[in-house]
Amino acid sequence: MGVKTGVTKQEAVPSGVDAGSRAARRAWRERLNNEASRKLLVGALAAFLGGSFWGFSGTAASALFDVYHVDTMWLMSVRQLLAGALFMIIILLFDRKRFVQLWTTPEHRRQQIIFTIFGLLANQFFYLSAVRLTNAGTATVLQCLQLVVIMGYTCVKGRRRPRKREIVGLMLAFAGTVLISTGGDLTRLSIPPLGLAMGLLTALGAALITILPVKILPVYGSTIVTGSAMFLSGILTSIFVQPWSNPPALDAGGLEMLAVFVLIGSFLAYLLYMQGVKNVGSMRAGLIGTVEPVSATVTSAILLGIAFAPTDIVGFVLIIAMMFLTV
C-alpha cells in the first residue's frame, strides 16, 4: 500500500510540473509575441516619422532659398557641421571604441573618406541644388530614381538580367520622369534643364550612398559611418565656405526653418529611420519611407503654396510605384 502511494505521488508531481511548465511556456510565448508586436509597431512608426521628417527638410530648404536667399553651399556646410556634431556626441558617448577602430584601420578609413566625398557630400550638394532650381517635392521624387541606379549596379555585379518587375519599374520611372520634366508636353521642359540634371545627379549620389559603404557598414554600423561622414563633410565644406564669416540675415522665422532643416530634417530623420530599419528590416522600412516624397510634396503645397500640375502628381505616383516594384 505504501509502495502504491509512493508511485502515485511520483506520478502526480511530474503531472503538476508539466501543467505549470506548459502554462509558463504559453505565458512566455504570449509575452514574446506582445514584445515582437510592439517592436514592429515602434519600428514602423519610427520609419514613417523618419521618412516624413526627410520630406520636411526639403520644404525647409525651399523656404530658406526662396524667402531668405540663403546660399546653397552655406546651407549645406551648416547642415553637415551641426547635424554631424550631434551624431558625434552620440558616437563618442556610446560607441567610441568602434569609431576609433574605423579611423585607425587604413583600408576602412579610405573607404570612409571615399563614401564621405563621393557619396554623402555629393548627394547633399546635388539635392539642395535640385531643390533650389525646382522645388522640394520634385527634387525628392527625382532622388527616388536611385533605385534604378542600384538595380542596374546589382544586375551588372551579379551578371544577371533585370527581373520582369524591375523592367516594369524601370518603365514607370522613365514615364514618371518624363511627365515631371515636360508636364506632358514632349516638346518642352517644364522645369529648368539644370534642375532636371541636378535631380538625376541626386539620384546617382543617393545610390552611391548605398553602394560605397557596403563593406564598412556591417562592421561599424550606420550611425558611425554616416555620422562620421556628415561631420567630416561639414568640416571640409566649412574650410572653403567659412559659414561663420558670411551668415545670411535670418529673422525668427528663418532661424526656425534652419532648426527644422538641421534638427528634424537631418538628425532626427536619420535616427528615427535607422531605428525603423533595425526593428522592421530594410525592405519594410524602405517601403514605409516612401512617405518622404509625399511629405515633401504636401508640405511644399501647404506651407509654401507651391502648386503641382496633374502631370506632376501622376509622375510622382509612377515613381513611387517604381519603388515598390524594385525594392
How confident is residue 4, by pLDDT bands cut at 50, 70 and 90? very low
Q: Which of 127, 130, 47, 105 is nearest to 228 (CA)?
A: 105
**What confidence tens digit (pLDDT) does each residue in 291-312 have?**
777 788 788 888 777 777 888 8
**70 DSSP 8-state letter:** -
Contact between 180 and 191 under an 8 Å Cβ cutoff? The reply is yes
Query: What number of CA atoms fall less than 13 Å from residue 189's CA on the CB side?
Result: 10
Residue 128: name the closest of 119, 117, 136 by CA. 136
Q: How far apart are CA 76 and CA 238, in angstroms?
A: 9
- What pLDDT, on the 0 to 100 scale, is given for residue 284? 67
Maximal CA-CA distance, the chain: 104
Q: Is the pLDDT of residue 185 over 80?
A: no
- pLDDT of amino acid 14: 53
| Separation of alpha carbons 52 and 296, rounded Å | 8
Assess contact for 202 and 143: CB atoms under 8 A: yes
Amino acid 234: pLDDT: 93
Q: Are 90 and 226 in contact (CB under 8 A)?
A: no
How far apart are alpha carbons 131 and 139 in whole angstroms?
5
Instruction: Tell me the one-letter amino acid at 50.
Output: G
C-alpha cell belonging to residue 42:
515602434
The pLDDT tens digits of the residues spanning 52-101 come to 888 888 889 988 998 899 999 999 999 999 999 999 999 999 999 999 99
Question: Per-residue pLDDT tens for 111-158?
Answer: 999 999 998 899 889 999 999 998 888 888 888 788 788 888 888 888
CB–CB of 108/165 below 8 Å? no
pLDDT category, 165, cuts 50, 70, 90? Answer: confident
- Percent pLDDT > 90 in the chain is 30
Distances (CA, A) of 247 to 97, 239, 267: 36, 15, 21
Q: What's the pLDDT at 271?
A: 79
Q: Is the pLDDT assigned to residue 9 strictly greater than 60?
A: no
Considering only 46-60, 189-203, 277-291, 311-325, which range has the smallest mean pLDDT?
277-291
Q: 215 Cβ partners below 8 Å, 6+ apart?
A: 108, 111
- Own/partner contacts of 305-314, CB < 8 Å, gap of 24 or more, are 306/62, 306/135, 306/136, 306/137, 308/137, 309/183, 309/190, 311/179, 311/180, 311/182, 311/183, 311/184, 311/190, 312/137, 312/138, 312/179, 312/180, 312/183, 314/176, 314/179
Report for 67-76, 181-190, 315-324: range of highest mean pLDDT: 67-76
pLDDT exceeds 60 at position 31? yes
Residue 92 CA neighbour count, 13 Å, CB half: 8
Q: Using the predicted structure, report yes or no on whether residue 2 has a pLDDT greater than 60.
A: no
Cα distances from 101 to residues 98, 178, 181, in angstroms, run 5, 46, 46
**pTM for this entry:** 0.78
220-270 pLDDT, tens digit per residue, is: 887 898 899 999 999 999 999 999 988 898 999 999 999 999 999 888 887
